[in-house]
Amino acid sequence: METIALNDAEFRQFRGLIHEVAGISLSDAKKPLVAGRLGKRLRQRGLTSYGDYFRLLQRESSEHQIAVDLLTTNETYFFREPKHFDFLRQLLQGELRSRPGPLRIWSGACSSGEEPYTIAMLLAEHLGQRPWEVLASDLSTRILEQARAGTYPLEEAEGIPRELLHKYCLKGTGRHEGLFGIDPVIAKRVHFSQINLNTTLPDVGQFDVIFLRNVMIYFNQDTKRKVMERLLAHLRPGGYFIISHSESLNGISDAVKVIKPSIYRKPDA
């Protein structure tokens, strides 16, 4: 099968598109990634150049969304960056356990669902009968459909502590052989929603903890500041904001204070 080349001018078009829609800044080094993620789609649509595909996006809103989905999906897995979940476990056993009202956590870039379901397992494990919920949002409609299904290859279960795996996951049989699913008892308390962090946010209420990991590395400084301002308006006083170990809010926001590397707290009112 002949490879379709992505030239520099075409790459600039897609780089501008993804920055306009999602606030993501792609360096020149990401050109092979763009070509790889979109190349298969070109062939599916019977196109012979990335320029033709870009023009197609201007005419078809559904294809525009598919392209955005392909360019914004990131790798994830259960209990990724485990120190964050150790910290959450400590909060659930202490400070957050005594807060009044339902406990609410937002997974701000949930991808295929591993992060919010990890959070849900810990909430179920440590809060007993206390009400809680997880909002899981992403820009990609395609990846949200995967997340809602809550079904994963068995090899992904290796990252889940055995006691949680046995309590909150179900092994697939028959046509689901080789897969496992999240127990519906906790899955129904994870609410998935398409939200673009680069635009005005919907009224999603207030949260005790917000996770936004491995997202801001793709934003420039101005976009980071605007995204943080929007999100922190939804973080309760005394709430926690968690980013990836490879990220920092230094120079981005002084509305939260660092308490551990990659973990921030909003001061009490």
Distance CA 63, CA 68 (A): 9
Query: On the CB side of 251, how many CA atoms lie within 13 Å of its CA?
Result: 6
State residue 166's pLDDT score.
Answer: 96
Contact predicate 66/142, CB 8 Å: yes
Contact predicate 242/211, CB 8 Å: yes
Domain 8-72, architecture per CATH: Orthogonal Bundle (1.10)
pLDDT 10s digits, 20-75: 877 777 888 889 888 988 988 898 889 989 999 999 998 888 888 888 878 876 67
pLDDT 10s digits, 188-198: 999 999 999 99
Return the higher-pLDDT residue of 68 and 185: 185
Percent of the chain at pLDDT > 90 equals 64
Distance CA 39, CA 53 (A): 10
State residue 2's pLDDT score.
Answer: 61
Other residues' Cβ atoms within 10 Å of the Cβ of residue 172? 16
- Beta bridge partner(s), residue 170: 181
CATH number for the domain formed by residue range(s) 82-265 = 3.40.50.150
pLDDT class of 183 with cuts at 50, 70, 90: very high
Return the higher-pLDDT residue of 183 and 66: 183
Contact predicate 165/157, CB 8 Å: yes
Token pair in block for residue 164 = 């949680």
State residue 97's pLDDT score.
Answer: 84
Distance CA 67, CA 45 (A): 12
Strands (E), 128-233: 132-138, 151-153, 169-171, 179-182, 190-194, 207-211
Q: What is the mean pLDDT of residues 144-155?
A: 94
Return the higher-pLDDT residue of 205 and 62: 205
pLDDT exceeds 80 at position 159: yes
Percent of the chain at pLDDT > 70 equals 98
Range in 48-52, 160-164, 205-209 the model is least confident about: 48-52
On the question of a common fold for 8-72 and 82-265, the answer reads no
Gyration radius from the chain CA atoms: 20
| Mean pLDDT, all residues of the chain | 91
Given 15, 104, 138, 208, the catalytic residue: 138
Q: Which helix (H) or strand (E) holds 237?
A: strand 235-242
State residue 200's pLDDT score.
Answer: 95
Distance CA 140, CA 216 (A): 16
pLDDT exceeds 60 at position 1: no
Distance CA 144, CA 69 (A): 10
Q: Where are the domains of the chain?
A: 8-72, 82-265
pLDDT class of 3 with cuts at 50, 70, 90: confident
State residue 68's pLDDT score.
Answer: 82
Please indicate whether residue 37 is annotated as part of the active site. Answer: yes
pLDDT class of 252 with cuts at 50, 70, 90: very high
What counts of helices (H) and strands (E) characterise the chain? Answer: 10, 10
Q: What is the mean pLDDT of residues 3-12?
A: 90
Given 37, 41, 80, 265, the catalytic residue: 37
pLDDT 10s digits, 68-127: 878 876 678 999 999 999 999 999 999 888 788 899 999 999 999 999 999 999 999 999
Please indicate whether residue 43 is annotated as part of the active site. Answer: no
State residue 27's pLDDT score.
Answer: 83
Residue positions counted in the chain: 269
